[in-house]
Amino acid sequence: MRWLKHNLYIVTISILFVASIILDNLDPNNIISKIIMTLLTLFAGFHIFKKAFMDLRYKIIGIDLLVTIAVVAAFIIGDLFEAAAVTYLFTLGHVLEKKSLEKTRSALSALIDLKPTLARVIDKNKETMVELNQLKPKDIILVKPGEKIPTDGVIIEGSVMIDEQMMTGESMPVYKEVNDQVFGATLLQSGYIKIEVTKVGNDTRLSKIIHMVEEAQDKKAHTQKFMEVFSKYYTPFVVLFAIIIYGLTLEIRLAITMLVIACPGALVISTPVSFVAGIGNAARKGILFKGGDSIENLSKGNIVFFDKTGTLTLGKPVLSEIKVYDNNQNHLLKIAAIGESFSEHPLSLAIIEAAREKNIDIEDEPTDVEMKIGKGIIFTYNKIKYAIGNKQLLSFEIPQPIEHEIEMMEAQGMTTLIMSDSQKILGLFGIEDGIRNESVKLIRKLKKLGIKQTIMLTGDQKRVAHHISHTLGIDQYYAGLLPEDKASIIESYHKDNHTIFVGDGINDALALSTANASVAVGGMGKDIAMETADVVLLSENIGKLEDAIKISKKVKMNMIQNVVFSLFVVLFLIIGVIFRQVTMSIGMLVHEFSVLVVIVNAIRLLRYNQGGRHDKRSRTKQLHKSSSDLQKS
């Protein structure tokens, strides 16, 4: 009954259409036949006639006006069945088109459905369930296993595994602990946490993503704008062409049939429907295109420029090599980490983190700690005095073999810390900005996607840039650059190329705005880059750039398929009418069928996965497989 209620209009006109077919074959001139066909024309055509009248008021010659003229002309010549059939098929096509188009925007609906509605607020050791819109920054909320995190915040108690797939596209759960940032609508899989709310309402990450997707699906690409301008002039031309045909043949039926079959319906929607579907597909994979222009520009790119720090690399120091000249490696690392625990230098964190990863106990405290600004740190542990820092901290000459090893490590882009006691060097710590695991594979895969050159732009030293570019297989690099230098270099490539720049920081904003297409690698504290870029990778997985380019090229191909198919159908129907093989109702049927084919072809993009295939199972189902919300608590 619910289905019938929602589809009563289409059911009614369908019954009238079936009755019209039967009566037309029995006795088309019978009064009952004429009444049924007239009722069908009025019921099915009311919205068409209304739209045509509104268009005329604004001096617009659209598809609805062409159909209205054809229907009126059919009534004048007494062909009531043709009039009824044309209005019914046109209306039915619109209904099916609307339902199909809704599927292309399903990603946005899915994102909106992700939003929780309740939060468990802790106030004076009491739990209170409140509506999400009542939350305020600084509120403390409790989240239990299987629940969605209500809003953005920082963990103040607990350590958990969180499923961020629908926010970042990452398939594996992420480990979070105290002081880590969490995002609303992500799923807590195990453990419990207390969160201090940092952002609510429209300021949350999910709300911003939804806003971006809404804007992107309405933003038009150059091709789409061209098609709209084309149809603006094409439709009046069709009217003129029909008048000329009537003037030459004096056959009104031939002229009005030409009006109906030459409607550019499939052509008009051939580009926007592809872009909307592509944007929806990408959003589910943690990739945000900010409109059709973004997809179009990315698909044309043939040179990719990369920022280094935080884009190709992790953006934080990592201990990548240890040279030991006395004692064993773990013991040396333990002493170094204990000493560095009193240092505030960023490089000290790399040593401490490496010790923790190896489960080395570093709870002991050093004594007689001396910070030497610009040199390093001196401390005493177990009554032995140690020093960790650069060459300036040493009170003796470095042996030539160790000097050579330091030079070798620095040639590989490492910053070398020397650890010694009062008499000799104990070991070397090679620290570098660690390369992302995905970066090596990405550079190789870009070549297969038609990218002819990859270039790294960095403000870092030349030796570091050389090491990173050589390791990754990047074609060229520029080092020691300021933000304006990056923009100038990109500008110099514009003459014969279509440029893509990939970055992540505030200092990349100028370069992002200079490139033909720009991609921001997402994550915490990267809002400026995300606002400036055309495309946003919501996670820090740089490998998703390959997916973004693949999707953009697939959307472009889908759009071309739709345009070529639409033009072919129009040409086929025009030839059919000229040779009197296509009637008005058959023409409308084929026309509406072509519109549906274009939409269905675009819907295929929703199932297109990163590997270049079409998923048989819709990812939309995964949105609803998450554990129960707070409402079930």
Could you tell me how far CA 555 lies from the centroid of its own chain? Answer: 13
Is the dihedral angle over the CA atoms 352, 356, 360, 363 positive or is it negative? positive
Is the separation of the CB atoms in 346 and 395 below 8 Å?
no
> In sequence order, what are the residues at sequence separation of 6 or more whose Cβ sits closer than 8 angstroms to the Cβ of residue 470?
none
Closest CA to 576 of 562, 591, 565: 591
Closest CA to 477 of 303, 302, 306, 301: 306
- Rounded to 10 deg, the angle between the 584-603 and 252-261 helix axes is 10
* Residue in the structure block whose two tokens are 């002493």: 335
Closest CA to 90 of 60, 62, 61, 59: 62
Could you tell me how far CA 584 lies from the centroid of its own chain? Answer: 43
Q: Is 307 a catalytic residue?
A: yes
CA–CA dist 629, 147 (Å, integer)? 5
Beta bridge partners of 187: 148, 163
Pairing status of strand 376-381 against strand 367-372: antiparallel
| DSSP labels, 21-68 | HHHHHH-TTSHHHHHHHHHHHHHHHHHHHHHHHHHHHTT---HHHHHH
Q: DSSP class of residue 520?
A: E
Pairing status of strand 453-457 against strand 476-478: parallel
Q: Say which of 307, 460, 508, 547 is annotated catalytic.
A: 307
Q: What is the CA radius of gyration of the chain?
A: 33
Beta bridge partners of 140: 196
CA–CA dist 349, 140 (Å, integer)? 30
Q: Is 528 helix (H, G, I), strand (E, B) or coil?
A: helix
CA–CA dist 629, 294 (Å, integer)? 35
Catalytic site positions: 307
